[in-house]
Amino acid sequence: MKVHYSIQIFGRVQNVGFRYFVVTKAGEYQINGTVKNEADGTVVVEAEGAKEQLDIFLADLENGPGWARIDDVKVSQPPVADYNRFRVVY
């Protein structure tokens, strides 16, 4: 069953390759959705897929790539939006 996670990541998550990291992990776990840098310095990820895969994906995002520093992660579970791929939103 497909589920949707809306994930907001706080910390040093911009200008450290975080979006590339998210896109790579999404491909590994067959996750569809989007990733976007926000003006407030956070990164927002909309992710859809199997719950088991999303939970592993989320755990990776909570650790981030080497240069990032994750201070907090907020997750909500909105209705499925039926994304058909994963992409960066600018």
pLDDT of residue 77: 98
What pLDDT, on a 0 to 100 scale, did the predictor assign at position 57? 98
With a CB cutoff of 8 Å and minimum separation 6, the contacts of 14 are 37, 41, 43
Residue in this structure with the two tokens 């390759």, named with its chain if needed: 17
* Domain spans, the chain: 2-80
Identify the pLDDT of residue 73.
Answer: 98
Active site includes 19?
yes
* Residue among 12, 37, 63, 85 flagged as catalytic: 37
CATH of 2-80, one of 3.30.420.280, 3.40.50.300, 3.30.70.100, 3.40.50.720: 3.30.70.100
pLDDT of res. 21? 98
- 23-68, pLDDT tens digit by residue? 999 999 999 999 999 999 999 999 999 999 999 999 999 999 999 9
Q: Among the options 12, 19, 63, 85, which is catalytic?
A: 19
